[in-house]
Amino acid sequence: MTRLAGRLYGALIIAAAAALSFSLLVYVLYAINLLGFPYDYDQGEGFEVHDSVLFSRLQLPYRDTEAYPFYASNYPPLFHLMAAPFARLFGPAYWYGRLLGFLGSLAAAAAIAAAVYQEGGRRKSIAALSGLAFLSSNFVYHIGPLFRQHMMMVTFEVLAIVVLSRAFPQRDRRGIALALLLLICAGYTKQLAAISALAAIAWMLLRGPRRALRWTVAFGLAGGAIFAALDLASGGQWWVQAIVANVNDFHRDQAVGLFVLWFKLHGFLLIPACLLLVYETYCDRLSVYSLWFAAAALLGGIASGAWGAGDSYFITSVAALCILSGLLFSRVLGGDLPLPRRLQFLRRSSLCAAGIALIPLLYLGYARATLKMPTDGHFSSIARALGLEANIRGNFYDSASFLVGGYARIGYFLNDDDRRAGEQIVALINETEGPVLSEEAGFTMAAGRDVVTNPTQLRNLDLAGRFAGDQLIAMIEAQEFGLVIFRALFYPPTVLEAIDRFYRHRKTIHMNGFDYLILYPRATDAD
């Protein structure tokens, strides 16, 4: 590398680092903004808070939904167990779960950077850019600082695969055991981690079939024992609520749209990742990262088309492509990419020279492709300089916008109007007597009322033919609920029909970009 080329490369790397660091700054400010908001930002967060509260009381959230309060969770317990000590100390709140998710995303990014550094020739700049690229993804940005279990699942997956990549070839029993334990942790954080577990087992079978079979049996026995214990402790409700109720209808257009968006946002690094996968397939030994990437991208992408799924189902593949692209770039720059005979005309020095010019530009292109930021306040001058106009809620720019079904309608910052709107809904609850039927649990928890039902869970059980709802419908017909609060009409059709007959819409309160419909019993119409 000539002195001029070295200076040019260094300047471009600094520019790429600055661009991705700006994305990190926006991400940190977004997380701080959410930490202080006491209500649901993403629909369903409140039910995860409630799960954590139940675990803090040594109660399982896997329950019979035919009896009051008709509530059950469909998620595995680990993330809520991690939040349970905070729930015990501070009561129901959103900040600690959001903080756990945010810190989990930082841990995943650090593991990505460490993997690229250790296995890519110890190039600090490429390792750092690989970790920053993960945090710059719009998909990671959306889910990272939420009280949702998905980001923690990805964190466990990344840690497991990074540990396994070095431990299995070295016959490091402790390392292999740790990696498989982390995969179990991922699976009992969210069921989608089964894809990463299958990829890890398949890779071990390719590298050492006999050893892999022994470890797979131990892995299966450990995971199965936990499964059986949960099912026994819940009286069979674990199987019904976490397995049966997780089979949703599939929307092909949503999956296709999200695949296209995934490529649009991550293409600058996705193509290099695919190139390394092809290279390993035909010219080298297949790494666990390549097999993991292929499985996560294909199976996770297909799963994103399920009702209730979305862009978060691609986050595992984003982690894998950040590692693969970082490894490819490191090996190109280090001249450590042996070529087959038919490609010997491509000299390593030529590849290195091309990499010096191209690699920083790819990271810069990726930073622009994944750009999202407020367009008002302190960011207004930056937005004008970049020629950006708000395309989300009037004061936020998202390079992906919301044009694809399943892409989360979140990401913008909340303000005092959102907080006041939530307080208004809580005040309405406090003015009524009796239980409240709300599609978001945050309002009822803030008012000290029971959390009644999880609407998406009832919907899924209804689709599976496992929900009758006789007692719930009887309470609706008797108008025992002081209020009904809608946001997305997720309840089963029979429940919605009963509410329509016996409750009337009187108020609409706008919060967090959504209209919350407040319904009162028809018996109070005269009031």
Would you state the pLDDT for residue 490? 92
The confidence band for 326, taking pLDDT boundaries of 50, 70 and 90, is very high
Residues 421 and 337 in one domain: no
| 243-269 residue pLDDT tens | 998 877 898 999 999 999 999 999 999
- Distance (Å) of CA 235 to CA 52, 229, 243, 294: 20, 10, 14, 38
Render 131-170 in DSSP notation, one character per residue: HHHHHH-HHHHHHTTSS-SHHHHHHHHHHHHHHHHHHTTT
Which tens digit of pLDDT belongs to each residue from 28-79? 999 999 999 999 999 899 999 999 999 999 999 999 999 999 999 999 999 9
Q: Is 51 a domain residue? A: no
Rg (CA), the chain: 25
Q: Is the pLDDT of residue 140 over 90?
A: yes
pLDDT value, residue 7? 84
- Judge if 425 and 355 occupy the same domain: no
> Tell me, what's the pLDDT at 523?
84
Sign of CA dihedral 427, 430, 436, 440: positive
Instruction: Identify whether residues 365 and 421 lie together within a single domain.
Output: no
Cβ within 8 Å of residue 408, ≥6 positions away: 42, 142, 143, 310, 311, 312
Peptide linkage before 85 cis (omega within 30 of 0): no
**What distance lies between CA 288 and its chain's CA centroid?**
22
pLDDT, residue 62, reads 97
Asked which of 336, 351, 369 is the last residue of a domain, the reply is 369
Q: Which domain holds residue 471?
A: 416-524
Q: What is the rounded CA–CA span in Å between residue 506 and residue 267?
A: 48
**Is residue 192 predicted with pLDDT exceeding 90?**
yes
pLDDT in tens, 289-303: 999 999 999 999 999
Round the average pLDDT of the chain to a whole number and report it: 93
513: left (phi over 0), alpha (psi -120 to 50) or beta: left
Q: Let me know whether 116 and 246 are in one domain.
A: yes
Residue 275 falls inside a structural domain: yes
Name the band, by pLDDT with cuts 50, 70 and 90, for residue 121.
confident
The total of other beta-carbon atoms located within 10 Å of residue 385's CB is 8
Dmax of the chain from CA atoms?
87
Q: What is the pLDDT of residues 237-248, one digit of tens each?
A: 999 999 998 877
- Are residues 339 and 260 part of one domain? yes
- Tell me the CA end-to-end span of the chain in Å, nearest whole number: 83
Residue pointed to by tokens 């399920």: 306
Which phi and psi angles does 453 have, rounded to 5°?
Answer: 65, 160
- Percentage of residues of the chain with pLDDT beyond 90: 85
In this structure, what token pair is assigned to residue 497? 């029909």
Q: Name the residue among 307, 203, 207, 321 with its Cα closest to residue 262.
A: 321
With H, G, I as helix, E, B as strand and everything else as coil, classify residue 304.
coil
Number of domains in the chain: 2
Question: Higher model confidence: residue 357 or residue 17?
Answer: 17
Question: Which residues lie closer than 8 Å to 343 by C-beta, 6 or more apart?
Answer: none
Residues 440, 39 contacting (CB under 8 angstroms): yes
**What's residue 451's pLDDT?**
97
The phi, psi pair for 264, rounded to 5°, reads -60, -40
User: 13 or 406: which carries more pLDDT confidence?
Assistant: 13
Same-domain status, 291 and 363: yes
Which structure tokens are listed for 423? 């307080």
- Name the residue type at position 470: D
Tell me what pLDDT residue 338 has.
73
Facing residues of 511 across strands? 514
Strand partners, 76: none
The answer to whether position 353 is within a domain reads yes
pLDDT class of 341 with cuts at 50, 70, 90: low
**Same domain flag for 110 and 257:** yes
Q: Which helix (H) or strand (E) holds 45?
A: helix 45-56
Nearest Cα neighbor of 276 from 326, 340, 345 is: 326
> 343 and 230, same structural domain?
yes
The pLDDT of residue 1 is 56
Task: Say whether pLDDT at 355 is over 80.
Answer: no
Same domain, 363 and 422: no
> Considering the domain boundaries, does residue 398 fall inside one?
no
Helix (H, G, I), strand (E, B) or coil at 82: helix
Phi/psi at 347 (nearest 5 deg)? -70, 150
Same domain as 479, residue 352: no
Residue 501 lies in a domain: yes
**What is the H or E stretch that residue 206 is in?**
helix 194-207
Band the pLDDT of 2: cuts 50, 70, 90. Answer: low
Closest CA to 126 of 272, 285, 288: 272
Q: Are 333 and 126 in contact (CB under 8 A)?
A: yes
**pLDDT class for 527, splitting at 50, 70, 90?**
low
59 falls within a domain: no
Q: Do 324 and 200 have their domain in common?
A: yes
Residue 405 predicted with pLDDT over 90: no
**Residue whose C-alpha is closest to residue 441's, from 505, 485, 503, 493:** 485
In this prediction, residue 347 carries a pLDDT of 59
**For residue 144, how many C-alpha atoms fall within 13 Å in the half-sphere facing its CB?**
28
Does residue 75 lie in a domain region? Answer: no
Average pLDDT over residues 191-202: 97
Of the candidates 312, 338, 369, which is a domain's last residue?
A: 369
Domain-embedded: residue 310: yes
DSSP 493-515: HHHHHHHHHHEEEEEEEEETTEE
| Of residues 23, 111, 379, the one with CA closest to residue 388 | 379
Last residue of a domain, one of 333, 348, 369: 369
Distance from C-alpha of 255 to C-alpha of 271, rounded to nearest angstrom: 20
CB 241 within 8 A of CB 75: no
Confidence of residue 524 (pLDDT cuts 50, 70, 90): confident
Reduce the DSSP state of residue 443 to 3 states and report it.
Answer: helix
Considering the domain architecture, whether residues 26 and 175 belong to the same structural domain is answered as yes
Q: How confident is the model at residue 343 (pLDDT cuts 50, 70, 90)?
A: low
Q: Which residue has the tokens 């990463």?
A: 196
pLDDT of residue 384: 94
